[in-house]
Structure 1
């Protein structure tokens, strides 16, 4: 072996050791860096003509347990869903208040009942009359305010869905782009480990939004699928999701899939008035709608809040208002005016000869103490007089 080859052999050893030391230095420096994986340099013997001529840097391996990483992403996705729901439910819980709070609907209904009890004892006292009416109006205002808050939060959740869809698409685009770069690096025998760390961080962020499945296709690229099975990333190509967000969510608004009987087909929105469109992967079609198929992630939490949790709360509030109305009317109907009224005089004056035109029917009934109808008089309004 010539002196030159001997020196090159020694130099290759020094260069390889330097690369290994650089890798160790990076590992130490990034020990607390989120998303960084420890790297390990594997030396590779140089062989020329069957003889060894030094050493070179071989594969740079990342110390990553893919099984644990996949489990972490699944658990993170579920956690983000629950955190998203907790954020909204905590807001509405503060608005409803605790039962013992003076501003809570529970306290206002109890106060309303107390004022009616006081009115029953002294119905002729104007102060009792005023307090009873005022407390009733206070209950109504509180019910309206709670309903408005529920719809406000539904609109906030819907706006967040729109924003999250945009964030999701950027991540899909990023992963597809990095896939292409990694494939090029590996085909050129270059180190793509840092790019893989970057891709892992994007996959972590994607898993926070929806539940995903993925696998390495053998070329260095990772193919990603939605939990419902639709392809999101295939090599260097990404498929975006779309959501045509309605401008306003109202109490009657509900998710309307393309397969629904009241779906009206192509048009300005493709959905009936009050309908909320789905979230689609790629082209809009029944089999690309993932709205109800998402099982975890922030997007799932937002959809559940908008379409299930808050509407259910609104339904309970409506039921409370309906029962309150029925009970108040039942109590009111048991009473009677004192002194009894023998006639009614209208306060709307019309000129003589004015013709009345109307349609409909007025029904006046008489019931006994048990609420049984004893007499009924009908008067038609369809005549012109």
Structure 2
């Protein structure tokens, strides 16, 4: 190896170390970025040259920038976030419902109203001819009816609020689906030369996790590096660089008896051809899934229990 070869070897070594330092600096700069995956410059030796005395090494080069990410673990994170988001949405909604069902410090809840009603009824039965007892009983009955109606109205309002949150969630899912489709295309172009678009993949993973938090989507990566994103367990909302959407549509069979009445939304999958399919019952995870369960299940049971109590 001549002087030129020695200089080239040194140059390549410096270049490799420079890339390694830049990668470390990139890791440090992004240490506080949520969803960032650490990167590592992978060095390999360059092909040796053959001489009469044997093979002589020619130095080192950077083979690739490897991302410290595990696809299986990323998939588990997506799934767990969907489950947790559904639980959190139901829990927060239930806390609001409890504020209308609990007695509170003022003692103006259903339990107190029932107690006063039965006390007034007992007093009236002991002295049915008494005018004060009759007045107290009528007032207690009117108060009990008012408390029942107020509580039922408040629970219905919670259904309407949950419905509005569902609509907002659907809008965000559609926005994220568009971003996911764009990232699929950019990653496919960036990786056409054989390298991995690490930062774009991190961004796409963050988008996927947020989509899952909202609606419990799942994703499958194809051989070209694109995500096929599935909503409602079987409906492709993102395919390569194309995005479909979810659509909130009034459900005439699910109406809240407020004034005026409000038709709650069903979640439809809208294909790229414009065909609508009701997938409300298929969304059980994510924030939207949790809100649907609260709106159509939990509150409905609470109202049934309230009606049964009022009828006894």
Question: Which of the five TM-score ranges fits, normalised by the shorter chain?
Answer: 0.7 to 0.9
Give yes or no for the alignment of 1:79 onto 2:68: no
Range that drifts further, 171-180 or 219-228: 219-228
Structure 1 residue ranges without an equivalent (≥5):
253-272, 324-385
- Match of residue 122, structure 1, among 111, 124, 127: 127
TM-score by length of 2: 0.87
How far apart in 2 are the matches of 1:299 and 1:239?
Answer: 18
How far apart in 2 are the matches of 1:128 and 1:276?
Answer: 45
C-alpha distance after superposition, 1:63-91 (max 9, x if no partner): 11222221222122111111101111111
Residue of structure 2 equivalent to 1:297: 286
Task: Note the C-alpha offset of 1:158.
Answer: 0.6
Other structure's SS at 1:197 match: helix
Residue of structure 2 equivalent to 1:229: 234
Could you list the runs of 4 or more consecutive aligned residues of structure 1 that deviate by over 6 angstroms after TM superposition?
48-52
Structure 2 vs 1, CA of residues 203 and 42 (structure 1 numbering), >3 Å: closer, same or farther? same
Range that drifts further, 170-179 or 100-109: 100-109
Contact 2:23–2:41 at 8 Å: present in 1 too?
Answer: yes
Structure 2 vs 1, CA of residues 234 and 198 (structure 1 numbering), >3 Å: closer, same or farther? same
Contact 2:256–2:263 at 8 Å: present in 1 too?
Answer: no
- Match of residue 108, structure 2, among 99, 103, 106: 103
TM-score by length of 1: 0.71
Task: Note the C-alpha offset of 1:219.
Answer: 1.6
Range that drifts further, 229-238 or 51-60: 51-60
Other structure's SS at 2:37 match: coil
Structure 2 residue ranges without an equivalent (≥5):
51-55
Residue of structure 2 equivalent to 1:338: none
Contact 2:27–2:39 at 8 Å: present in 1 too?
Answer: yes
Other structure's SS at 1:36 match: coil
Other structure's SS at 1:223 match: strand
- Match of residue 297, structure 2, among 291, 294, 308: 308
Number of equivalences: 302
Residue of structure 2 equivalent to 1:40: 40
- Match of residue 250, structure 1, among 242, 247, 256: 256
RMSD: 2.7
Residue of structure 1 equivalent to 2:63: 58
Structure 2 vs 1, CA of residues 131 and 294 (structure 1 numbering), >3 Å: closer, same or farther? same
Task: Note the C-alpha offset of 1:56.
Answer: 3.2
Other structure's SS at 2:280 match: coil
Residue of structure 1 equivalent to 2:26: 26
Range that drifts further, 31-40 or 156-165: 31-40
Other structure's SS at 2:63 match: strand
C-alpha distance after superposition, 1:62-119 (max 9, x if no partner): 1112222212221221111111011111111111114997212022111101012112
How far apart in 2 are the matches of 1:307 and 1:119?
Answer: 41
How far apart in 1 are the matches of 2:82 and 2:193?
Answer: 35
- Match of residue 94, structure 1, among 90, 93, 99: 99
More helix as a share of residues: 2
- Match of residue 270, structure 2, among 282, 295, 317: 282
How far apart in 1 are the matches of 2:45 and 2:249?
Answer: 58
Greater relative contact order (Cα < 8 A, sep 6+): 2
Residue of structure 1 equivalent to 2:167: 162
Task: Note the C-alpha offset of 1:9.
Answer: 2.9
